[in-house]
Structure 1
Amino acid sequence: MSAGPLTLADIRELHQRWLAGAEFDIGYPNAVDFDPSTVLRLFDVTLNNVGHPFAPTTGFSGHTLSLEQQLIRELGAMFRCPPELVTGFVTSGSTEAIKAALLQARRRFRRHVVVYASTAAHTCVAKLTEELCMALQVVPASLDGVMNVASLTELVAQRPEDAAVVVVATIGTTMVEAVDDVPAIHAALDAASVPASQRWVHADAALAGIPLAMLDPAERPGFDFADGADSLNVSGHKYLGVPMPCGAVLLRTDRCPAVDETPTYTGAPDLTPAGSRSGHTPLLILAALRGFGIHGLRERAATCRRNAAALVELFSAADVPAWRHPLGFTVVLPAPSEQLRARWPVPPPELARDDGWTHVICMPGKHFEVYQRFAAEYLIDRGNTTSRHLPVQHGPDRHTSGQHSSAPHHDAEHPEDAIAC
């Protein structure tokens, strides 16, 4: 790319480079089938969402707060929060969303708070609790990545007498897409004698929340407001494919402290961690939700699961101990050589917390043929690396929670080219 101002040729070169690279990005959860073109015409104006979208504002007009409010209500309905109790706002991503939930919990309790999260929780939880000076207790995860609720009970029972409890449940862990069980977490807190008034359960549903919400309630795991979550976050750039990092946090108004009515220069109270927030990201998330529609969101998730199931079968037929959660898009397998990872950027095994493992994620818009190409190269690489250290098997036969499974055969009969909806 030439020095100086960006030219049209520079932009085309960058665009082609990024498009070419995206074909190989199968280790990271970004959908590629969302078309934002209908919203792009609005990018020639500054849209700054300052303050809370549910608070009245008399400030400047360059914002999308009313649309942000609509988005939060639609997400609240998706995650079964009573409509009269839902509040929240759009964030720069799930890290900021989790921070907002932790801040609300701390404001509510106004006392010593201990945060509990599993060893498989996102690394931002440790970063945020340190930043907020909140105590963090790490709970072991089972072999399948799910929080061990028996250990949670033991650890919570040892908390300081005056401490309130905040549990961060991970709804789709980073490496294996495990889903913590929110009703089981509440049962563990009951067993540890934590009063309802002294507990807060947050559901970090960054990747898996929307796909799981598309399932029939009888088929999906317990993770949302109807299952006992007090707050919940999702990402916009993962399953929805919004082309910039963003997310949303949802909160129950009856669990949040009273709103600070002190006006800012915009005429609205600002309860958000960021202050000025993008007014474009609510537009993009709303455009994705309404553009795909419930049917499209459901079909995209079903396609991803079929592709993941077919990929597990492909590897299993070649004696590779690959596995997945039945409802997940993530296929876990022994890590390939460094040379193959340079071509296909899957997570290095040292990030997997279980030595020697990595994953690929079957996301919307990514054709199954791409995963087949990776599998073909992987098998050649595996055959050439005769001295490879094989990781300890922790696939379906070793699961303790029953949530892991090799793919049911009927799921893998119709791999599709990731339907674009």
Structure 2
Amino acid sequence: MAVTTDGPLTVTADGPLTLAGVRDLHRRWLDGAAFDIGYPNAADFDPSMLLRLFDVTLNNVGHPFTPTSGFSGHSLPLEQQLIRELGATFRCPPDLVTGFVTSGSTEAVRAALLAARRRFRRRLIVYASTAAHTCVAKLAEELCLPLRQVPARADGTMDTTALAELVQQRRRGVAVLVVATIGTTMLEAVDDVPAIHTALDAAGVPAKSRWVHADAALAGIPLAMADPAGRPGFDIGDGADSINISGHKYLGVPTPCGAIVLRTDRCTPPDLTPTYTGAPDLTPAGSRSGHTPVLMLAALRGFGTDGLRSRAETCRSHAATLVELLTAADVPAWRHQDAFTVVFPAPSDRLRARWPLPVQDGWGHVICMPGKPFTRYERFAAEYLADRRDHGGHPLPGRPPAVAADLEDAIAC
């Protein structure tokens, strides 16, 4: 196997991958990472001390909270510890914590939908905002669950008045699952879980007939480090029945992964018949990476509560400074108060070939993440402003996707 070093990165199957080829891949991926400021991956987690664990197979079969026997190559006790620590982070009563690791947030959201479908025996409608991750619609279709999309407000959050109106239209006796997005992909807007419950109360949904899942892929841990009195309500302590995070985003684990935390009193146990492994199979995936919980637990404990809080504060400070830098040059940039994400008119295609930023409806964003120095964002800003000057300034493309109605108020936050 050889690596082509000229032009786009390619690998050809003409022999074994050599040490020189691995070094070249590593160098080129590191070079590319210097321009990855539009996607939420932290870059300050060092997994090097864990590399020696990768010469063993670790296959977590079954559920970390059920007894297991047989195959010894697993990290189920560490997975259980990870879920308990995440449960404490998201204020789940210690005696009601359950959950497991996943391949990412999409699988975690799927697990929440499956748990709710099992609890309500398929008599269930899913509600999510138009700004929710696209996986919600994909998973609802896959699981044959009807989905009602709730309009997002101007700031990107779910319109809970519209939610109440939509929920009132359902047939009597049908349960409700609401997916609250805790950090939308473009604006990092946060749906308010207590406000969702208020809307469900107004729509006459009994507590026993509702489930609120918090999709907190990026923003969950950073928000958990903030004072609950000064941030939107989003976690289990605020009324969520389940919550998920991604391990490769704020924690910086170098492989896609995630975890879901659920309340045991909301889950209906499936068949506990042991499989040939001796482990009851209570998870959608069955076999799961046994390395993932080790990596995520190492990140959580390595940074510690103070470190996680400090990293979040630094990212918010970088984002606020970037907004100031751009607005000083008459660019209508803005961010939500607790967000790492800075939104501005989309760069030209020429600049995006160098800085691969997401764009929607003429607007783009960068996300200030741990381990990425502010000089990187300054460098982008300088090139962005020069690009605007060279092109006579990019035309303002109308309102950003779900941006605040008053742009000056949005900039001010």
For Structure 1 versus Structure 2, the TM-score category normalised by the shorter chain is over 0.9
After superposition, residues 20-419 of structure 1 pair within 5 angstroms as 20-348=31-359, 352=360, 355-386=361-392, 388-393=394-399, 398=406, 404=410, 406-407=412-413
Any idea what the Cα deviations from partners look like across 1:169-206, whole Å, max 9, x if unmatched? 00000000000000000000000000111100000000
Q: Which amino acid aligns with 2:73?
A: G
Query: For the Cα contact (< 8 Å) 2:119–2:268, is it kept in 1?
Result: yes
Rounded to whole Å, the distance in 2 between the matches of 1:266 and 1:297 is 37
- 1:17 paired residue among 20, 23, 28: 28
Q: How high is the sequence identity, in percent, across the aligned residues?
A: 73
* TM-score normalised per structure 2: 0.95
1:393 Cα deviation from its structure 2 partner: 3.8
How many pairs were matched up? Answer: 400
1:97 Cα deviation from its structure 2 partner: 0.2
Query: For the Cα contact (< 8 Å) 1:335–1:357, is it kept in 2?
Result: yes
1:266 Cα deviation from its structure 2 partner: 1.4
Q: Which amino acid aligns with 2:392?
A: T
Deviates more, 1:86-95 or 1:385-394: 385-394
Q: Which amino acid aligns with 1:66?
A: P
1:227 Cα deviation from its structure 2 partner: 0.6
Rounded to whole Å, the distance in 2 between the matches of 1:112 and 1:285 is 35
Query: For the Cα contact (< 8 Å) 1:356–1:389, is it kept in 2?
Result: no
Rounded to whole Å, the distance in 1 between the matches of 2:269 and 2:107 is 21
SS of alignment partner, residue 87 of structure 1: strand
1:391 Cα deviation from its structure 2 partner: 1.6
Q: Which amino acid aligns with 2:376?
A: V
1:59 Cα deviation from its structure 2 partner: 1.8
1:267 Cα deviation from its structure 2 partner: 1.1
In the other structure, the counterpart of 2:6 is none
Rounded to whole Å, the distance in 1 between the matches of 2:205 and 2:279 is 36
Q: Which amino acid aligns with 2:384?
A: Y
Q: Which amino acid aligns with 1:139?
A: V
In the other structure, the counterpart of 2:7 is none
Rounded to whole Å, the distance in 1 between the matches of 2:157 and 2:73 is 44
Any idea what the Cα deviations from partners look like across 1:218-269, whole Å, max 9, x if unmatched? 2222000111000000000000000000000110000000242200111121
Rounded to whole Å, the distance in 2 between the matches of 1:286 and 1:387 is 47
Any idea what the Cα deviations from partners look like across 1:130-167, whole Å, max 9, x if unmatched? 00000000000011100000000110000122311000
Rounded to whole Å, the distance in 2 between the matches of 1:259 and 1:56 is 15
Q: Which amino acid aligns with 2:24?
A: E
1:380 Cα deviation from its structure 2 partner: 1.0
SS of alignment partner, residue 372 of structure 2: coil
Query: For the Cα contact (< 8 Å) 2:155–2:405, is it kept in 1?
Result: no
Query: For the Cα contact (< 8 Å) 1:213–1:220, is it kept in 2?
Result: no
Q: Which amino acid aligns with 2:326?
A: F
Q: Kindly report structure 1 stretches of 4+ aligned residues shifted beyond 4 Å.
A: 394-397
Query: For the Cα contact (< 8 Å) 2:244–2:258, is it kept in 1?
Result: yes
1:396 Cα deviation from its structure 2 partner: 5.4
Q: Which amino acid aligns with 2:173?
A: D
In the other structure, the counterpart of 2:11 is none
SS of alignment partner, residue 162 of structure 1: coil
Rounded to whole Å, the distance in 1 between the matches of 2:151 and 2:407 is 14
In the other structure, the counterpart of 2:8 is none
Rounded to whole Å, the distance in 2 between the matches of 1:320 and 1:363 is 22
SS of alignment partner, residue 56 of structure 1: coil
1:399 Cα deviation from its structure 2 partner: 7.1
5+ residue gaps, structure 2: 4-13
The CA RMSD measured in Å over matched residues stands at 1.4
* TM-score normalised per structure 1: 0.93
5+ residue gaps, structure 1: 408-421
Rounded to whole Å, the distance in 2 between the matches of 1:383 and 1:273 is 52
1:388 Cα deviation from its structure 2 partner: 3.6
1:387 Cα deviation from its structure 2 partner: 7.1
Any idea what the Cα deviations from partners look like across 1:76-124, whole Å, max 9, x if unmatched? 0000000000000000000000000000000000042110000100000
